[in-house]
Structure 1
Amino acid sequence: MTTQHKPRYVTRAINEKLNIEIKVLLWKLLDSIEVKRKDKMDYLQVFEIVNQGNNIKIINRQEQPAMTEELMKMKQGSMNIEDTIVWIIDDLEYRTMLFPKDY
């Protein structure tokens, strides 16, 4: 089973606080990171969402091996998202999207 086909879950807090567009975007970004990094992908991916006026910037970090990458800048549009950090944890059987405080 490829990791892209693992079941994906979100915590209740993620479901309540993040709109569907951001959740889908983060899953797609995770898929592209996986393709790009292959075996150098850490089990914990950190996504930092930063407001910059009418734009948002998404930065990805991981610890092993240490990497930080600005993934994208885009117009905020109707998403109305606050600065936040989202984790996606990949365990052996599934992936979970959560806020650090949910851990």
Structure 2
Amino acid sequence: MAKQGKPRYVTRAINVELNIEIQVLLWELLDSIAIKRKDTMDYLQLFEIKSDGNNVKIINQQEQPAIKQEIIIEQGVLSIKDITVWIIDESDKQIMLFPSDY
């Protein structure tokens, strides 16, 4: 389960290609997921981010136990391309990365 207070890192690719507003949103979603799922949260969280008209659709998935959740937010001024982001929750840190960074 995600534990608050762990250092959080992003890969260089995330830092360059993903705007800071989306990065912050994903960290906040991770915190929210940790509260809701408690002991059933997998160490690997997958976020598919898709532009959907005037909205942004974020699909969160995990493997163990299998959970899939869809979140829709108003896009506003955010310019977003369709991407997939992983957040890995290790024992001593959390890392946000693209699958290609792994």
- Smaller-chain TM-score range? over 0.9
RMSD (Å) for aligned C-alpha atoms: 1.0
TM-score by length of structure 2 reads 0.95
Opposite residue 23 of structure 1, the aligned amino acid is Q
- Following superposition, which runs of at least 4 residues in structure 1 exceed 4 angstroms of deviation? none
Residue by residue over 1:4-35, the C-alpha shift from the partner in whole angstroms, topping out at 9 and shown as x without a partner, is 11000000000001111100000000000000
Size of the aligned set, in residue pairs, is 101
- Does residue 1:79 correspond to 2:78, yes or no? yes
TM-score by length of structure 1 reads 0.94
Please state whether the residue corresponding to 1:36 is helix, strand or coil: helix
**Structure-1 separation of matches of 2:31 and 2:91:** 16
Residue by residue over 1:52-78, the C-alpha shift from the partner in whole angstroms, topping out at 9 and shown as x without a partner, is 1121111100000000011x2122222
**Structure-2 separation of matches of 1:87 and 1:43:** 10
Query: What is the aligned-residue identity percentage?
Result: 64
Aligned to 2:52: 52
- Within 5 Å, which residues of 2 pair with 1:56-71? 56-70=56-70
Gaps of 5+ in 2: none
Opposite residue 38 of structure 2, the aligned amino acid is K
**Structure-2 separation of matches of 1:75 and 1:60:** 17
Say which is worse superposed, 72-81 or 30-39, in terms of deviation: 72-81
**Structure-2 separation of matches of 1:14 and 1:81:** 13
- Does residue 1:40 correspond to 2:40, yes or no? yes
